[in-house]
A = this chain, B = another copy of it.
Amino acid sequence: MSLYRLDASINPATSQSRALADLVEAEWTSEHPDSLVTRRDIGTEPPPATTWRDIVTSGQTPEADLTERQREARALATTLVDELVDADAILLAIPLYNWGVAAHVKSWYDITYTDARMKQGALAGKPVVLASVLGGDYSEASGKASWDHSTPWLRHVIENIWKADLLIVQRQLTLVGINPALDAMKEQAAEVHAAAAQLASEHGQALAAKRNARTAA
């Protein structure tokens, strides 16, 4: 049995998305102590910027005529999709950067989507938890809820394209204590963070239970 974990923070040492995903992972590991946890860190080791285009533009080229870079690009796609397909459950730790997903997240997704398996329902029904952090205040009250362009796209590709079984936990206001402009929100941040931590644990338990249900079915 295995959990696949993808991290996209560019600052692992201080990453809030990692901390939130750790809470999910702890519940999984508690339920499945012998489970393998496989990890990929695209925040610090992003796929090359040329990989996706190399695959797409070499689409009709026979294997023998591929350049070395095209060959490596296709191999990376196969590896990344193998990782997703082989996992019993998936945990994605993806922060919001400049109101969208980071380039390396889109790059990772685009590369995986070149593999035919991703268009054939290879991840249908697979349990997925997305742990996302947003530095500022994106509450309904802030008027900026629509400024998060990351979660809607991720929800779209995970639910509509992968057809996976998705749970989302978001922690907002993670820049409180770092960005002085947010100092007035300390109390609100503490509440938001506690609620997110609670939800992360619940989602971790749900992830482990879903895996059990799929095995029993």
Residues of chain A touching chain B, judged by Cβ–Cβ distance below 8 Å, are 10-11, 43-44, 46-50, 52-53, 56-57, 97-104, 106-107, 109-110, 113, 146-147, 149, 152-153, 156-157, 160-161
Contact = CB atoms under 8 A, between A and B. Distances in A.
B113 A106 contact: no
A52 B106 CA distance: 14
Nearest to A156: B99
Nearest to A48: B49
A10 B98 contact: no
Contact of A56 (B10, B50, B56, B156): B10
14 contacts: A10-B52, A10-B53, A11-B56, A48-B49, A49-B107, A99-B156, A99-B161, A100-B106, A100-B153, A101-B106, A102-B106, A103-B107, A106-B106, A149-B149
B149 A153 contact: yes
Nearest to A105: B103
Interface of A (DSSP majority class): helix
A95 to B, nearest CB: 12
A97 B152 CA distance: 15
Nearest to A46: B49
A20 B71 CA distance: 33
Contacts of A101: 100, 106
Residue among A44, A98, A102, A113 with max Cβ neighbours from chain B (10 Å):
A98
A43 B56 CA distance: 12
B156 A103 contact: no
B100 A103 contact: no
B49 A103 contact: yes
A52 B46 CA distance: 11
A50 B147 CA distance: 25
Contacts of A160: 147
Contacts of A156: 99, 147, 149
A79 B43 CA distance: 24
A197 B99 CA distance: 30
Contacts of A107: 49, 103
Given A46-B49, A53-B43, A156-B149, A110 B102 contact: yes
